[in-house]
Amino acid sequence: MTTEGKGTKEGFLTIADAMKQGTGAVAVRGWVYRERGSAAVKFVVLRDGTDILQCVIKKDAVGEEKFAEADKLQVEASLEVHGTIKEDKRAPSGYEVAVESFTVVGTSDQFPITKDQSPEFLLDKRHLWLRSRKMQAILKIRATMFHAFREYFDGRGFLEYHSPMFQATQCEGGSSLFAVKYFDAVTYLAQTWQLYAEPAIFSYEKLYTIAPSFRAEKSKTSRHLTEYWHAEMEYAWADFKGIQDHGEGVIKHMVAAVLERHRKELEILGRDPKKLEPSVSKPFPRMTYTDALKILKEQCKMHVEWGKDLRTIEEDKLSQLYDTPIIVTEYPTAVKAFYMKAVDGHPEVVQGCDFIAPEGYGEIIGGSARETDLEVLKRRLLDAGEKLEGYDYYFDTRRYGSVPHGGFGLGMERVVSWVCGLDSIKDAIPFPRTPLRWTP
């Protein structure tokens, strides 16, 4: 694709730049998004990485032979076009090119995706469906959100750091581990970077990553993938409030970046930006798990027994009461991971937090202060039915200069789904992996 504002050495402009130019001679190239024609004129809506643009090919202008070629053009053929651009309110993007000459670069014969196809068909043809305006808009927003996550932490003295993807132990529960044959041994795909980030905070103190995580969860829901992009942070000397503040800060930064740069993409997706604005301008309500149970009872008539984890339906009900994400803290120790630090004087609850997105998009962040007491860690692993084997390297983090620390993990596709207002998390990633789908 051509760089915006510059054009290529052959003189091609992006469609966005050609429309910015607005009048006069232009050269653009891309793919046929739509086409229709009559005996003397062919309308081709051309698509590139930036926008769409109507091109009008008249027999009079290009001659009999070339017009016959234009007449055969089908959806998704690629072509280069030279002509004159002008504003035209009736054209799909408000501009039109009167074509003087064109070259078909790659033909296309009966592109398989036509109107009204089922979500499953579109997933089978995902490699082609990526070309749709919907997927293109999502991919652009997704990229901005990755960038914004990095920008937030780079700007605050954090270092990007990477954990291995082959890991010998669990962190988030053995039942969702993917086992991998590793020569003659068995190892697992990373569920999180956490147990490899904690050792490194003793080196650099403030770390973040964006990397794939893998969960062998059989749940076929609109918010679970088996492979997702996990944006995580971990830092030394952390306190529980600071962890929540960073979670809130980075989400605000990511949403603000999308609102600033992607009005057009949100419009293509039919997503009302007003739904997102409160998440930038208003503080996220913070409540303990115990408070959340009270609110559920009083405002939603839902009774949850103290000690039970919040289920999807309860999270959804709760989220509908607010127009920003909410932060639920101090969950019962028994329902949370072994590494979460108990609240001082209250071993029954942990300094752990879940951020729950509005509009029923579910948990977008899970984080905590980390238990520093080695004996407590060991006991909690055993209580969770895990063996201590393989964790010795991790236990060393508590043996040599242990410090308070903590962090969180943010599910990129969960946040992209919410920001884009998607029906399914599958559309938040180019090639989704779920229990039933691992191709193409």
Closest CB to ligand 4AD among residues 29, 414: 414
Q: Which does 277 bind (CB under 5 to 8 A by kind): ligand 4AD, Mg ion, none?
A: none
**Interface positions with ligand 4AD (CB under 6 A):** 171-172, 191-192, 194, 215, 217, 224-225, 228, 230, 232, 363-367, 407-411, 413-414
CB of 90 to ligand 4AD, least distance (A): 43
Rg (CA), the chain: 26
**Measuring CA to CA, which residue among 377, 37, 372 is closest to residue 201?**
372
* Distance in angstroms (rounded) separating the CA atoms of residues 166 and 184: 14
Q: Of 47 and 224, which CB lies nearer to ligand 4AD in the complex structure?
A: 224
List of E strands, 163-285? 166-167, 179-182, 185-189, 206-214, 227-236
Instruction: Work out what residue 316 binds among Mg ion, ligand 4AD, none; the CB cut-off runs from 5 to 8 Å by kind.
Output: none
Of the pair 19, 356, the CB lying nearest ligand 4AD is at 356
By beta-carbon proximity to ligand 4AD, the closer residue of 153 and 408 is 408
Contact 228, 212 (CB under 8 A): yes
**Contact present, 295 and 322 (Cβ < 8 Å):** no
Q: Which amino acid is at 278?
A: P
Residue 17 or 172: the one with the smaller Cβ distance to ligand 4AD is 172
Distances (CA, A) of 411 to 27, 38, 62, 99, 332: 41, 50, 52, 46, 22
Sign of CA dihedral 98, 102, 105, 110: positive
Which 3 state secondary structure label does DSSP give 230? strand
Long-range contacts of 56-65 (CB under 8 A, 24+ apart): 56/96, 56/97, 56/98, 56/99, 57/99, 57/102, 58/98, 58/99, 61/98, 61/99, 61/100, 62/99, 62/100, 62/101, 62/102
358 binds, among ligand 4AD, Mg ion, none (CB under 5 to 8 A by kind): none
Q: For Mg ion, which is the closer residue by CB, 27 or 410?
A: 410
**Nearest distance from C-beta of residue 277 to ligand 4AD, angstroms:** 22
Shortest Å distance, C-beta 251 to ligand 4AD: 11
Q: Minimum Å distance from CB 243 to ligand 4AD?
A: 9
Measure CA of the first residue to CA of the last residue in the chain; give whole Å.
Answer: 25
Q: Which is nearer to Mg ion, 7 or 366 (CB)?
A: 366
Residue among 435 and 440 whose Cβ is closer to ligand 4AD: 435
- The CA distance from 222 to 357, in Å, is 14
Q: Taking Cα atoms as reference points, which of 141, 158, 151 lies closest to residue 408? A: 158
12 contact choice in Mg ion, ligand 4AD, none (CB below 5 to 8 Å, kind-dependent):
none
Residue 420 CB, nearest approach to ligand 4AD (Å)? 15
Identity of residue 400: Y
On the question of a cis peptide bond just before residue 440, with omega within 30 degrees of 0, the verdict is: yes
CB 206 to ligand 4AD: min, Å: 14
Work out how close the CB of 342 gets to ligand 4AD at its nearest, in angstroms, rounded to a whole number: 16
The smaller minimum CB distance to Mg ion, of residues 127 and 218, is found at: 218
Strand partners, 47: 31, 52
User: How deeply is 38 buried, as exposed, middle or buried, from its count of CB atoms within 10 A (0-12, 13-18, 19+)?
Assistant: exposed
Strand partners, 186: 181
Minimal distance, residue 365 CB to Mg ion, in Å: 8
Nearest to ligand 4AD of 97, 225 (CB atom): 225
Distance CA 227, CA 216 (A): 9
Nearest approach in angstroms of CB 222 to ligand 4AD is: 11
User: What CA–CA distance (Å, rounded) separates 80 from 46?
Assistant: 10
Which of 218/387 has CB closer to ligand 4AD?
A: 218
By CB under 5 A, name the binding residues for Mg ion: 366
Please report how many Cα atoms fall inside a 13 Å half-sphere around the Cα of residue 372, on the Cβ side. Answer: 14
- In contact, 162 and 142? CB cutoff 8 Å: no
Query: Binding partner of residue 391 among ligand 4AD, Mg ion, none, CB under 5 to 8 Å per kind?
Result: none
CB of 55 to Mg ion, least distance (A): 50
CB of 379 to ligand 4AD, least distance (A): 19
